[in-house]
């Protein structure tokens, strides 16, 4: 899995700028990402605080490890 260039804290900071009235296109250009990326971040991290986003990532990693160890996640995807 590819590692993100941005931490959860940075992503949430960018989303807070967008909520504060900054244009998404300007933010995307400033940070070197596409507008679609910002909208995807908004769907995943919208409304979360930094500690909540870190907990979400920990739970996703734990779930991935559990599924891999229990044979529910094979080399060709889930189930």
Is residue 40 in some structural domain? yes
What pLDDT is recorded for position 16? 93
List per-block mean pLDDT (blocks of 10 residues) for the chain, which spans 79 residues.
81 93 94 95 88 88 87 63
**Number of structural domains in the chain:** 1
Is residue 78 in some structural domain? no
* Selection from 21, 50, 18 nearest residue 35 by Cα: 18
pTM value?
A: 0.68
Angle between helices 8-19 and 50-69 (to 10 degrees): 130
Is residue 25 in some structural domain? yes
Give me the domain span that covers residue 56: 8-73
**Residue 66: alpha-carbon gap to chain centroid:** 20
């Amino acid at each position: 899995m590819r590692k993100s260039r941005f931490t959860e804290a940075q992503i949430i900071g960018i989303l807070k700028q967008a909520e504060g009235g900054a244009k998404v296109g300007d933010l995307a250009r400033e940070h070197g990402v596409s507008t679609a990326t910002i909208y995807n971040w908004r769907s995943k991290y919208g409304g979360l605080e930094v500690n909540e986003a870190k907990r979400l990532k920990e739970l996703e990693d734990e779930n991935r490890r559990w599924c891999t160890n229990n044979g529910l996640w094979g080399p060709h995807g889930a189930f």
